[in-house]
Amino acid sequence: MTGEGPTEKQVVVIGGGPAGLTAGYELTKFDLRPVVLEKEGLVGGLARTESYKGFHFDMGGHRFFTKVEEVRKMWHDVLGGEFLRRPRLSRIYYNGKYFFYPLKPLNALFGLGFWQSVLIVLSYIRWQLFPYRREDTFEQWVTNRFGRRLFLTFFKTYTEKVWGISCSELKAEWAAQRIKDLSLKTALLSMFFKPKTTIKTLIEEFDYPRLGPGMMWNAVKSEIERRQGEVRLKSDVVGIKRTGNRIEAVVARRDGLEEIIRGTDFISSMPVTGFIKALDPPAPPAVLNAAARLSYRDFLTVVLIVNKPQIFDDNWIYIHDPSVHVGRIQNFKNWSPDMVPDPTQTSLGLEYFCTEGDAVWTMADADLIEMGRREIDRIGLARYEDVVDGCVVRVEKAYPVYDSDYAEYLSVVREFIDGLENCQTIGRNGLHRYNNQDHAMLTGMLAVRNLVLGQKNDLWSVNTDAEYHEEIREQVTDHDLEEVLEGALTQVFLKLDRVAMGLSFGLTAGALLFLATLALVLKGGHVGPNLGLLGQYFPGYTVTAAGSVLGLLYGFASGFVVGWTVAFLRNATVFLYMAVVHRRAELQALRRLLDYF
């Protein structure tokens, strides 16, 4: 294969993270023998498990739950009984106090104090009545939904720690992405079906590999190799050779030596910016420029080993307090007891969000550990002197940044990549899309189906939204029933045509009055003294032949008004109802907003 022209379908997968390894694993199911190239010395990418003196740590914390059945099946096929079912507890540390997360109203009330709570409620009402007219920024978007005080208390500091830019500069799209596609159907269904206990379970409990997510990816690597595939570690792709719209080979640097690896098809999960930059001959200048404008946020984890068997019950704690730099603290032992070799000790992961090359990123490991010790002591989670050891792990390109122009630049890059005949990009960084592990895996699966089965799955549209919103859909057990209900509910909630309703009411009322009057006239005798009372409302109306015609007109006019009003009020009520349903669903999703980081 190396250095020779391929004789059969030979797929090269760039990246040994969840997306790349899943693609490799799926390819072996079709009796193909992919070559997976991983830059680092271990597999897992952003979901790898690092180790230090027998302590294992997960970069960022990866809960294993998904609504994607194929992904769930793969996890259990690969790891089987190695999963633990773990309880989820996470809190926010702010102003010296802890708040449950997702937020619980009573807990927040007691934590913040009575007056602060009153001010938050007043602020919420004020922003509901007089919201920002435009929702361009994250600050405006959250303020319009939670009120300014709650935004300042629970969202501003942490969001700015994560992204490193002011909330007034961060695009609203990042938060809105998870909410805006909430469908009418989903919102309606959520009102008609109570959540099943499994939904609660997903939020309060999760599966976790006994030795962290890296255990999963090591097992996938072994499985690929068992099926004659290849996973090459420390193989950094530094060049991608193309002829027109076809990729011919990649250049991988390993131990200082460069090697050309040819293939018939390529799947890349490497950062899309690096992918474009590595092309030879180079991509058009507009594409190169667009790719260069896409940016990432990085983070590093300072692992502290503490001489205490138990420190706190949370899996992780969000640190909103602006007095310290740390953004989130993981307690690895609470993810899995096997992550710690000595039960008398605990390992904590202090996550510092930064940008490659900045002051935090370039700080010496010893200084970072010292800063971590001081901050953990200051927060009061552990005493300075109880920290006995530590190490630092840096994670590059952890979060694709959704800044003001990213969508425009990404569309240029996407158009170019879509034009490549034998190459697909997958995963969080391959698509520059905020996909979680399961959706990154799904892009790998779909890419293989496109390649082998000739399907036309749009990998760019696999997005993170489905995860939580799909929970609502899952509540209906019978899929067919769900489809039927969705259709019926959608029909019911269509608006009434006001004019058509007015016309039908008017014509019917006019005809009825006309016929009733005429019937009495034809009957003769003492003609209709009671029906004649309508003349008090309809000037000129009498129970006569001429009056019947006038009655027709009056009946039509008044019926039209009534019909139009009925339709208007009904539509307004449905609209208000829908607005309330949508807002409730938005707030539900927003309550878990921090989980999306």
Partner 1 sequence: MADEKRLLERMALTRALHLNATVQGVVTGLVTGLAIFIATNWLVLKGGEVVGPHLALLGQFLIGYRVTFAGSLVGFAYGFTGGYLVGYVVAGMYNWAAHRRERKRLGHV
**Is position 523 an interface residue for partner 1 (rule: CB under 8 A)?**
yes
Give the count of alpha carbons within 13 A of 1, CB side only.
17
Considering only 109, 152, 199, 496, the residue that binds partner 1 (CB under 8 A) is 496
Instruction: Using the minimum distance from each CB to partner 1, give the nearer residue, 93 or 514.
Output: 514
Cα-based distances in Å from 415 to 241, 325, 335, 420, 424: 19, 39, 41, 9, 12
Give me the least distance between CB of 541 and partner 1, in Å please: 17
- The residues near 86 (Cβ < 8 Å, ≥ 6 apart) are 205, 206, 207, 208, 315, 334, 335, 336
Give me the least distance between CB of 528 and partner 1, in Å please: 8
**Is position 488 an interface residue for partner 1 (rule: CB under 8 A)?**
no
**Is position 580 an interface residue for partner 1 (rule: CB under 8 A)?**
no
Considering only 519, 546, 572, 579, the residue that binds partner 1 (CB under 8 A) is 519
CA distance 472 to 424: 32
Both tokens of 6, joined, read: 């391929």
Give me the least distance between CB of 177 and partner 1, in Å please: 10
Considering only 104, 495, 583, 584, the residue that binds partner 1 (CB under 8 A) is 495
Instruction: Using the minimum distance from each CB to partner 1, give the nearer residue, 215 or 543.
Output: 543
Give me the least distance between CB of 167 and partner 1, in Å please: 26
- What are φ and ψ of residue 580, in 5° steps? -65, -45
Tokens 């997968």 — which residue? 13
- Selected range binding partner 1 among 133-141, 426-434, 436-444, 499-507, rule: CB under 8 A: 499-507
Considering only 95, 307, 457, 504, the residue that binds partner 1 (CB under 8 A) is 504
**Is position 584 an interface residue for partner 1 (rule: CB under 8 A)?**
no
**Is position 461 an interface residue for partner 1 (rule: CB under 8 A)?**
yes
Q: Is the peptide bond before 105 cis (omega within 30 degrees of 0)?
A: no
Give me the least distance between CB of 350 and partner 1, in Å please: 37
Instruction: Using the minimum distance from each CB to partner 1, give the nearer residue, 121 or 503.
Output: 503
SS3 307: coil
CA distance 581 to 593: 19
H or E stretch covering 313: none
Q: Are 312 and 331 in contact (CB under 8 A)?
A: yes
Helix segments in 130-168, DSSP class H? 138-146, 148-151, 157-163
- Across 407-427, b (16+ Cβ under 10 Å) vs e yields eebbebbbebbeebebbbbbb
For the chain, state the CA radius of gyration: 31
HEC assignment per residue over 314-341: CCEEEECCCCCCCCEEEEHHHHCHHHCC
Considering only 51, 90, 117, 183, the residue that binds partner 1 (CB under 8 A) is 183
Give me the least distance between CB of 584 and partner 1, in Å please: 17
Give me the least distance between CB of 233 and partner 1, in Å please: 36
**Is position 202 an interface residue for partner 1 (rule: CB under 8 A)?**
no
Instruction: Using the minimum distance from each CB to partner 1, give the nearer residue, 67 or 76.
Output: 67
Instruction: Using the minimum distance from each CB to partner 1, give the nearer residue, 203 or 574.
Output: 574
**Is position 520 an interface residue for partner 1 (rule: CB under 8 A)?**
yes
**Is position 184 an interface residue for partner 1 (rule: CB under 8 A)?**
yes
**Is position 544 an interface residue for partner 1 (rule: CB under 8 A)?**
no
Considering only 14, 348, 368, 501, the residue that binds partner 1 (CB under 8 A) is 501
CA distance 307 to 302: 16
**Is position 536 an interface residue for partner 1 (rule: CB under 8 A)?**
no
Give me the least distance between CB of 180 and partner 1, in Å please: 9
H or E stretch covering 168: none
**Is position 178 an interface residue for partner 1 (rule: CB under 8 A)?**
no
Instruction: Using the minimum distance from each CB to partner 1, give the nearer residue, 418 or 497.
Output: 497
- Selected range binding partner 1 among 94-102, 242-250, 265-273, 494-502, rule: CB under 8 A: 494-502
- Selected range binding partner 1 among 238-246, 251-259, 392-400, 513-521, rule: CB under 8 A: 513-521
**Is position 185 an interface residue for partner 1 (rule: CB under 8 A)?**
yes
Give me the least distance between CB of 444 and partner 1, in Å please: 18
Give me the least distance between CB of 136 and partner 1, in Å please: 21
Binders of partner 1 among 395-454, rule CB under 8 A? Answer: none
CA distance 389 to 173: 41
H or E stretch covering 58: strand 55-58
SS3 422: coil
Q: Are 229 and 35 in contact (CB under 8 A)?
A: yes
Both tokens of 114, joined, read: 């009575």
Instruction: Using the minimum distance from each CB to partner 1, give the nearer residue, 106 or 492.
Output: 492
Nearest to 65, CA basis, from 467, 488, 417:
467
- Selected range binding partner 1 among 17-25, 84-92, 202-210, 493-501, rule: CB under 8 A: 493-501
Instruction: Using the minimum distance from each CB to partner 1, give the nearer residue, 89 or 512.
Output: 512
Size of the site for partner 1 (CB under 8 A): 30
Instruction: Using the minimum distance from each CB to partner 1, give the nearer residue, 185 or 242.
Output: 185
Helix axes 479-492, 184-192, angle to 10 degrees: 100
Both tokens of 247, joined, read: 């990729």
Tokens 């709650």 — which residue? 150
Considering only 508, 544, 565, 588, the residue that binds partner 1 (CB under 8 A) is 508
**Is position 484 an interface residue for partner 1 (rule: CB under 8 A)?**
no
- The residues near 576 (Cβ < 8 Å, ≥ 6 apart) are none
Helix axes 213-226, 18-29, angle to 10 degrees: 30
Considering only 119, 238, 452, 503, the residue that binds partner 1 (CB under 8 A) is 503
CA distance 291 to 415: 12
- Selected range binding partner 1 among 16-24, 168-176, 498-506, 586-594, rule: CB under 8 A: 498-506
Instruction: Using the minimum distance from each CB to partner 1, give the nearer residue, 299 or 402.
Output: 402
Instruction: Using the minimum distance from each CB to partner 1, give the nearer residue, 305 or 462.
Output: 462
CA distance 337 to 212: 10
**Is position 565 an interface residue for partner 1 (rule: CB under 8 A)?**
no
Tokens 């390993």 — which residue? 254
Q: Are 170 and 399 in contact (CB under 8 A)?
A: no
Residues in the chain: 597
Judged by the rule CB under 8 A, the positions of this chain that interact with partner 1 are 181, 183-185, 461, 463, 466, 490-497, 499-501, 503-505, 507-508, 512, 516, 519-520, 523, 528, 530
